[in-house]
Chain A
Amino acid sequence: MGPNPKMRKEFFDSTRSSPFPDEVLERVLSLLKSHKDLSPEIVARRFPRVKSVTLKGKPRFSDFNLVPENWGADVHPWLVVFAAKYPFLEELRLKRMAVSDESLEFLAINFPNFKVLSLLSCDGFSTDGLAAIATHCKNLTQLDIHENGIDDKSGSWLSCFPENFTSLEVLNFANLNTDVNFDALERLVSRCKSLKVLKASKSISLEHLQRLLVCAPQLIELGTGSLMPELTACQYAQLENAFNQLKNLSTLSGLWEASAPYLPVLYPACTNLTFLNLSYAFLQSHELESLLCQCPHLRRLWVLDTVGDKGLEAVGSNCPLLEELRVFPADPFDEEVIHGVTEAGFLAVSYGCRRLHYVLYFCRQMTNAAVATIVQNCPDFTHFRLCIMNPGQPDYVTNEPMDEAFGAVVRTCTKLQRLSVSGLLTDLTFEYIGQYAKNLETLSVAFAGSSDRGMQCMLEGCPKLRKLEIRDCPFGNAALLSGLEKYESMRSLWMSACNVTMNGCRLLAREMPRLNVEVMKDDGSDDSQADKVYVYRSVVGPRRDAPPCVLTLSGL
């Protein structure tokens, strides 16, 4: 029973004899990657003492609405077992899990030592659940609420922290919109002397921000609130001064509604920045450039494509230490807009930032030649995620498929672990990937390939492949069935809107009894089609929390 979690457990195994004192062992993280579907009971049996748990539930494509909402991954059964077996649980990090307010309240009440809660891309809860956490978790050090499908009813949860509560070190409520009681927040920040990370929401104004910074000059990570202009000259000066006090800041984010005149207040705090997250700030190229000039040690940068190629040129010129770049589209769905970044921007970055190894790049045009040059400049890519937003778009100069681009990537970047491909791609791309991508673990494919051969190449090559997610590709049963043995060494396979049929899935399930083959049908689709298929290893057979729309074919 239970969702399909990938569990990473940091645990202390008391049955092992060890020369180290308990306190040391507790801090030694024995990371056990267990990628089979487990049930809470099994976990509890195998790992008698656990302080920290990370659970990842739904397939990644659930982020993009491709997975039915009630698919599963409910955290509650886990909490029930944990309450019995790990009452001293301290940390819980959940990703893509279904979490209810009841679960949060259960968590808050049943774990007296509870310290760290992180929720990323989860859904099913509201701010009421947060209120329960704030009310009951006396030892809380981290509350990190990040990009969830949360029902944001009110900001009153923040006022639930008791007045004598002082242990908070991390508070991230950046993605909530409702107003919190500012006075309560100010008092909270003042009394939590160990607060290192504060990421505020849009509801926090510049004036509020100034007051918070005065209370917490020790911050290492700051997410500002809204930078909408509303300051007097005197207030501006005070704000500048407050930023001046932030000598230890390494991460800056937020900047909602960033307004050019106010960006300079940030400058004094930028000297030691290593991570700048501007992915919600509609900045122009010159604004970005001015900001980047202040950040000589930048290693990670997230921006919106409003900065354009010019902005990326500025990145290339000003960020020699850059290791990670993510460029998000400001307006991904408006097809009328000619906007954003092109191959030119990416090229400019590659010339200036030779240490780049992680890129996520959304663009509307790209060329094979540019990508080949980019990877020549930056051969150390470990994560190369290129999204040409128009499905199936070729090289816009030559009109050829983008096969050679990704061929260049896999040939040149021998350390590549994660790859997302896009644009017009034939089977040749997958031949290249299968042949060269020896370290590839995660591969995402959409609107690509010409035949079953494409998928076969991926499955026959790529010795380290763990996660393969495919959508809208012409791969059918032959392709699916070419990977039988491979799936047992993989974490999961997702295929949606391909040419796989129910019969193909049944065959797979029959041949490979240790796999769960889940099929989800779309409304009104043909009975024989397997619209969405999710395959993963399991030792416990079909999960019992699957809703009716998910059919599990299992050999067990």
Chain B
Amino acid sequence: MSSIPKEHDYIGLSEAPSMEKISDKLSSSSSTLSTEENINSKSSSTSLNLKETELRLGLPGSQSPERKLILPAAGVSLFGKDIDTNSTNGYPLGPLKNLVSGVKRGFSDAIVGSSGKWVFSGSNGSEKSCVAGPAKKDDVAQSPKPVLEKNSQVAAANENSSAPAAKAQVVGWPPIRSFRKNTMASSLVKNNEDVEGKSGYGCLYVKVSMDGAPYLRKVDLKTYNNYLDLSSALEKMFSCFTIGQCGSHGLRGQDGLTESRLKDILHGSEYVLTYEDKDGDWMLVGDVPWDMFTDSCRRLRIMKGSEAIGLAPRAMEKCKNRN
């Protein structure tokens, strides 16, 4: 196991001791984080490979200037490695506030006064931190372990035993009658088959992966109206992981990226939001009007900035052609 995850303080870079305790618990106990079955990870990107998820704004090796917050992300990573203040990998943040101290801040906040509700609360050592979204997989101390489909043991409810992989369903929960469950299940399969990556009636599910995060999520693009909504949702979804900037650049000016802004973004951020379009090309999110994006997006990936550099030329091309 690599180092115990510690939490980051954006500004001061000091570790919050309280979080350390939690981190200990997480890594030593049956943390669900480490037992997820649906880990979509390259071998290096497990929850404990922290370097990948280190929170930074700058690209490796760069010193990031004090910047106005149009970007990223405030996300505290439970998996994050401690930042060595002397590291040459430098620092970022400037105005980003410390999530740990309980201030909720997200990149969408910075953009337009959005609610920026972070699910991750820094509340000092609360064991319940980082519980929404993926949180369902965390061990919350007070609640007994749900009875699982197989091996339902009452005794088990009292142990702090590891919940088997997140995929296992709890019997009879949520409380929905079988008839409805079965009907929904077959309708959904149908919907998803029809609309796999395409626009169709009903929903438009696309997978969202984040480099370094242990599992995928899925979102229904039809539930969002614009890039702002999408980025808020992604922000919440991946708040437990470090998240660099996610597509916020798409929010400025509905007419898409300009070349100079694009450059700003790439130099300023660790993560960018990208998508695979129907031609199979990976594009930066935000470079086309929203409707065009939802039409062509097959899946999303929160990619490390360094890898996204390669996308820039194509995006630049498109910008130039458009402008």
B218 at interface, CB cutoff 8 A: yes
A389 at interface, CB cutoff 8 A: yes
On chain B, the residues within 8 Å of A339 by CB distance are: 203, 219-220, 223
Q: Give B178-230 interface residues, CB cut-off 8 Å to A.
A: 178-181, 183-184, 187-188, 191, 201-203, 205, 207, 215-220, 222-223
Q: Give B25-44 interface residues, CB cut-off 8 Å to A.
A: 38
B128 at interface, CB cutoff 8 A: yes
Most B CB within 10 A of own CB, among A308, A331, A397, A420: A331
On chain B, the residues within 8 Å of A338 by CB distance are: 133, 217-219, 233, 236-237
A524 and B147 alpha carbons, distance in the complex (Å) = 14
Whether the pair A497, B157 counts as a contact (CB closer than 8 A) is: yes
The segment from A104-112, A181-189, A411-419, A445-453 that touches chain B is A445-453
Whether the pair A336, B217 counts as a contact (CB closer than 8 A) is: yes
CB-CB nearest in chain A for B170: A391
On chain B, the residues within 8 Å of A259 by CB distance are: 201
Count: A-B pairs, CB below 8 Å: 181
A530 and B157 alpha carbons, distance in the complex (Å) = 13
Pick the contact of A394 from B128, B158, B216 — CB < 8 Å?
B128
CB-CB nearest in chain B for A287: B201
A163 at interface, CB cutoff 8 A: no
On chain B, the residues within 8 Å of A149 by CB distance are: 178-179
Per-position contact with B for A426-455: 1 when CB-CB < 8 Å, else 0?
100000000000000000101110100000
Whether the pair B147, A497 counts as a contact (CB closer than 8 A) is: yes
- Interface residue tally on A, bucketed by range: 35 or more
The segment from B9-17, B137-145, B268-276, B285-293 that touches chain A is B137-145
The segment from B61-69, B74-82, B148-156, B247-255 that touches chain A is B148-156
B166 at interface, CB cutoff 8 A: yes
Main secondary structure of the interface of A (DSSP, over half): loop
Nearest-Cβ distance from residue B243 to partner chain A, whole angstroms: 14
Whether the pair B135, A336 counts as a contact (CB closer than 8 A) is: no
Whether the pair A329, B144 counts as a contact (CB closer than 8 A) is: no
The segment from A36-44, A60-68, A136-144 that touches chain B is A60-68
Whether the pair B174, A397 counts as a contact (CB closer than 8 A) is: no
Whether the pair B180, A282 counts as a contact (CB closer than 8 A) is: no
Per-position contact with A for B159-183: 1 when CB-CB < 8 Å, else 0?
0000000110111111111111101
On chain B, the residues within 8 Å of A166 by CB distance are: none
- Contact A337 to B219, CB < 8 A, known contacts A330-B188, A332-B176, A387-B174: yes
Nearest-Cβ distance from residue B19 to partner chain A, whole angstroms: 13
CB-CB nearest in chain B for A279: B180
A260 and B222 alpha carbons, distance in the complex (Å) = 14
CB-CB nearest in chain A for B233: A338
Q: How many residues of B contact A (CB 8 A)?
A: 63
Per-position contact with B for A204-216: 1 when CB-CB < 8 Å, else 0?
0000000000000
Per-position contact with B for A256-295: 1 when CB-CB < 8 Å, else 0?
1101100000000000000000011010100000000000
On chain B, the residues within 8 Å of A365 by CB distance are: 119, 132
B131 at interface, CB cutoff 8 A: yes
On chain A, the residues within 8 Å of B171 by CB distance are: 64-66
B117 at interface, CB cutoff 8 A: yes
A280 and B219 alpha carbons, distance in the complex (Å) = 21
Whether the pair B143, A330 counts as a contact (CB closer than 8 A) is: no
On chain A, the residues within 8 Å of B181 by CB distance are: 332-333
CB-CB nearest in chain B for A334: B218
Binding site for B on A (CB under 8 A): 61, 63-66, 121, 147-149, 175, 256-257, 259-260, 279-280, 282, 284, 306, 308, 328-339, 362, 365, 387, 389-394, 396-401, 420, 424, 426, 444, 446-448, 450, 471-474, 496-500, 522, 524-526, 529-531
Q: Please name 9 further chain A to chain B contacts, defined as beta carbons within 8 Å, in addition to the given A63-B177, A284-B222, A336-B216, sorted by A numbering.
A: A338-B233, A338-B237, A390-B136, A393-B131, A394-B128, A398-B123, A472-B157, A474-B157, A525-B154
The contact sample of 12 A-B pairs, CB cut-off 8 A, is: A64-B173, A148-B179, A279-B180, A282-B203, A328-B176, A336-B218, A337-B205, A337-B219, A365-B119, A365-B132, A391-B173, A472-B147
